[in-house]
Amino acid sequence: MQKREPVIFQIGWNACINCGACVAVCPQGAGFISAFDTIAVNRPCDIACMMCEDICPVTTISHQHLSELNGKKEVIEWLQAQHTK
Protein backbone atom coordinates (compact mmCIF):
# COMPACT_ATOMS: atom_id res chain seq x y z
CA MET A 1 0.00 0.00 0.00
CA GLN A 2 1.40 3.38 -1.01
CA LYS A 3 2.00 5.82 1.86
CA ARG A 4 0.07 9.05 1.45
CA GLU A 5 -0.16 12.32 3.32
CA PRO A 6 -1.96 11.88 6.68
CA VAL A 7 -5.61 12.91 6.76
CA ILE A 8 -8.40 13.57 9.22
CA PHE A 9 -11.73 11.98 8.39
CA GLN A 10 -15.13 13.55 8.86
CA ILE A 11 -18.30 11.48 9.05
CA GLY A 12 -21.62 13.06 8.18
CA TRP A 13 -23.58 12.09 11.28
CA ASN A 14 -26.97 12.80 9.74
CA ALA A 15 -26.33 10.56 6.74
CA CYS A 16 -24.39 7.77 8.48
CA ILE A 17 -26.45 4.58 8.81
CA ASN A 18 -24.07 3.06 11.41
CA CYS A 19 -23.45 -0.02 9.29
CA GLY A 20 -19.90 -0.35 10.64
CA ALA A 21 -18.34 -1.15 7.26
CA CYS A 22 -15.75 1.62 7.68
CA VAL A 23 -14.78 0.35 11.13
CA ALA A 24 -14.42 -3.22 9.85
CA VAL A 25 -12.26 -2.30 6.85
CA CYS A 26 -9.85 0.14 8.56
CA PRO A 27 -6.34 -1.38 8.75
CA GLN A 28 -5.41 1.14 11.48
CA GLY A 29 -8.46 0.64 13.64
CA ALA A 30 -9.09 4.40 13.53
CA GLY A 31 -12.88 4.13 13.46
CA PHE A 32 -14.95 3.01 16.41
CA ILE A 33 -18.50 2.98 17.73
CA SER A 34 -18.86 5.84 20.22
CA ALA A 35 -20.80 5.85 23.47
CA PHE A 36 -23.61 7.54 21.54
CA ASP A 37 -23.84 4.54 19.17
CA THR A 38 -22.41 6.50 16.25
CA ILE A 39 -19.30 5.93 14.15
CA ALA A 40 -16.39 8.16 15.18
CA VAL A 41 -12.72 8.65 14.35
CA ASN A 42 -10.53 9.92 17.15
CA ARG A 43 -7.18 10.44 15.45
CA PRO A 44 -5.51 11.35 12.17
CA CYS A 45 -4.96 8.50 9.73
CA ASP A 46 -1.29 7.97 8.90
CA ILE A 47 -1.70 5.74 5.85
CA ALA A 48 -4.69 7.46 4.22
CA CYS A 49 -5.70 4.35 2.28
CA MET A 50 -9.25 5.75 1.88
CA MET A 51 -10.76 2.27 2.20
CA CYS A 52 -13.39 3.66 4.59
CA GLU A 53 -14.46 6.30 2.05
CA ASP A 54 -14.58 3.70 -0.71
CA ILE A 55 -16.70 1.20 1.25
CA CYS A 56 -19.22 3.65 2.74
CA PRO A 57 -22.61 2.77 1.19
CA VAL A 58 -23.99 6.28 1.74
CA THR A 59 -20.78 8.17 0.82
CA THR A 60 -20.84 10.24 4.00
CA ILE A 61 -17.12 10.03 4.83
CA SER A 62 -14.83 12.82 3.67
CA HIS A 63 -11.29 13.81 4.53
CA GLN A 64 -8.96 16.74 4.86
CA HIS A 65 -5.15 16.58 4.61
CA LEU A 66 -3.30 17.54 7.77
CA SER A 67 -1.16 19.96 5.78
CA GLU A 68 -4.34 21.92 5.05
CA LEU A 69 -4.78 22.46 8.79
CA ASN A 70 -2.05 24.93 9.74
CA GLY A 71 -0.93 23.64 13.12
CA LYS A 72 -2.01 21.80 16.24
CA LYS A 73 -4.49 24.43 17.40
CA GLU A 74 -6.39 24.23 14.12
CA VAL A 75 -6.39 20.41 14.20
CA ILE A 76 -7.82 20.37 17.72
CA GLU A 77 -10.47 22.96 16.84
CA TRP A 78 -11.36 21.03 13.68
CA LEU A 79 -11.72 17.75 15.58
CA GLN A 80 -13.85 19.41 18.26
CA ALA A 81 -16.09 20.95 15.61
CA GLN A 82 -16.67 17.54 14.03
CA HIS A 83 -17.87 16.06 17.31
CA THR A 84 -20.38 18.86 17.91
CA LYS A 85 -22.13 18.61 14.52
Per-residue pLDDT tens for 12-61?
878 989 898 998 999 988 777 776 677 777 778 888 899 999 999 999 99
Q: Does 70 fall in a domain?
A: yes
Q: Does 37 fall in a domain?
A: yes
- What is the chain's mean pLDDT, rounded? 80
Q: Residue 2 above 70 pLDDT?
A: no
Output the CA angle 77-10-5, nearest 5 degrees: 85
* Tens-place pLDDT, residues 40-52: 777 788 888 999 9
Q: Which spans in the chain are helix H?
A: 21-25, 51-55, 72-83
Q: At 60, which CATH number?
A: 3.30.70.20
* Long-range contacts, stretch 64-69, CB < 8 angstroms, 24+ apart: 64/7, 64/8, 64/10, 65/5, 65/6, 65/7, 66/5, 66/6, 66/7, 66/8, 67/5, 69/8
Q: Does 2 fall in a domain?
A: no
pTM equals: 0.71
Can you tell me whether residue 40 is helix, strand or coil?
A: strand
State how many domains the chain has: 1
* Tens-place pLDDT, residues 62-85: 998 877 876 667 666 766 666 555
> What pLDDT is recorded for position 57?
96
